[in-house]
């Protein structure tokens, strides 16, 4: 089941048909993972280039490739690559594309993924470009919502926290916009509201959304999507300290509620540990879905799904 594009840089590139196909392949990959994997991508090499810190995205890409019988080469941190010496993203793609069959890259600059994909000689995946997009995370969020709620159409999602710099909420907004009657409650301090590029997309698509700084307005949603305040994007540390824990979700907030709690992780205090044992807490189940979605994407982009 091929995709109608070679690279994944943004969730704005997907149609509803594309997401249907990706979720279908992911369901099949879940069964493959349950059996420990297969050799679908034997002989293929993934280059995992992570020029910003990552635990989940990097390790799940590596796990996905290895579960499908492929190999992985890696580069960590700008300071340990020739980008530190001034090599451009474009030259890096031309070089790494001679070694690998597919490349996943995380980079601190918004727009770096578009630059990389414009020249990359092999399929390219954006694993997060600064405050821009994180499309593979949004796809695993989508897969998780479908699994947890049994549907995506008609859901009410509350996005909470750093909606300005949190790239996952930007990417997920564009994906959910492909589904019917999805409703958003955007909970953030005024300094960290959803960027205009995303709210204008809601308006263009006729999507219902409300903006508030009151967490209680989001607690009745089907999905509560918590986010970390993105310390690394702040120029003023005092501003970060003032805003970092404005919203803390506690077990008492969920008493008698059916809301499913998601978080792309890492969390740094915005969900207390007493939420973890509740059935509402899906953020660790979501992590495994990251492997499943990335198995599907690697196979599809390599023409093997
Ligand atoms: N969700 C996510 O992108 O986590 P990492 O930063 O650990 O990759």
Q: Where are the domains of the chain?
A: 11-134+288-301, 135-286
Q: pLDDT, tens digit, for every residue of 36-59?
A: 999 999 999 999 999 999 999 999
| 79 pLDDT above the threshold of 80 | no
Domains 11-134+288-301 and 135-286 share a fold: yes
pLDDT band at 187 (very low <50, low <70, confident <90, very high): very high
**Three-class secondary structure of residue 49 per DSSP:** strand
| 253 pLDDT above the threshold of 90 | yes
Give the per-residue pLDDT at 234: 86
Confirm or reject CATH 3.40.50.1370 for domain 11-134+288-301, answering yes or no.
yes
Q: Ligand 1 within 6 A of 163 CB?
A: no
Bridge partner list, 102: 46
Q: Quick one: average pLDDT of 126-153?
A: 97
DSSP code at position 73: E
pTM assigned to the model: 0.95
Contact 112, 105 (CB under 8 A): yes
Q: Ligand 1 within 6 A of 268 CB?
A: no
Fold of 135-286: Rossmann fold (3.40.50)
Closest residue by CA, ligand 1 atom 1: 264
Catalytic residue flag (residue 134): yes
Q: Ligand 1 within 6 A of 133 CB?
A: no
Contact 164, 131 (CB under 8 A): yes
| 133 pLDDT above the threshold of 80 | yes
Contact 11, 175 (CB under 8 A): yes
């Amino acid at each position: 089941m091929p995709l109608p594009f070679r690279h994944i840089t943004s969730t704005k590139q997907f149609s509803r048909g594309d997401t249907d196909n990706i979720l279908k392949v992911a369901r099949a990959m879940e069964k493959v993972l349950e059996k420990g994997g297969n050799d679908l991508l034997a002989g293929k090499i993934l280059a995992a280039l992570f020029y910003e810190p990552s635990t989940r995205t990097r390790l799940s890409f590596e796990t996905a490739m290895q579960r499908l019988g492929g190999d992985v080469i890696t580069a960590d941190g700008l300071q340990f690559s020739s980008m530190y010496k001034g090599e451009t993203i474009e030259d890096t793609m031309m070089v790494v594309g001679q070694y690998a069959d597919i490349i996943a890259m995380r980079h601190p600059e918004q727009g770096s993924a578009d630059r990389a994909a414009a020249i990359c000689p092999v399929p390219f995946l954006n694993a997060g470009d600064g405050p821009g997009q994180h499309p593979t995370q949004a796809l695993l969020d989508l897969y998780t919502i479908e699994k947890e709620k049994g549907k995506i159409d008609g859901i009410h999602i509350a996005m909470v926290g750093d909606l300005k710099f949190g790239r996952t909420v930007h990417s997920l907004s564009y994906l959910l916009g492909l589904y019917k009657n999805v409703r958003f409650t955007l909970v953030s301090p005024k300094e960290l509201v959803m960027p205009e590029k995303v709210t204008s997309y809601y308006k263009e698509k006729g999507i219902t959304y409300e903006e508030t700084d009151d967490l209680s307005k989001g607690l009745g949603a089907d999905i509560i999507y918590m986010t970390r305040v993105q310390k690394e994007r702040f120029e003023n540390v005092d501003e970060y300290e003032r805003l970092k824990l404005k919203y803390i979700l506690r077990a008492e907030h969920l008493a008698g509620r059916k809301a499913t709690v998601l978080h792309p992780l890492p969390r740094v205090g915005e969900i207390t540990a007493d939420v973890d044992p509740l059935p509402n807490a899906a953020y660790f189940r979501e992590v495994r879905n990251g492997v499943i979605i990335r198995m599907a994407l690697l196979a599809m982009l390599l023409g093997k799904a």
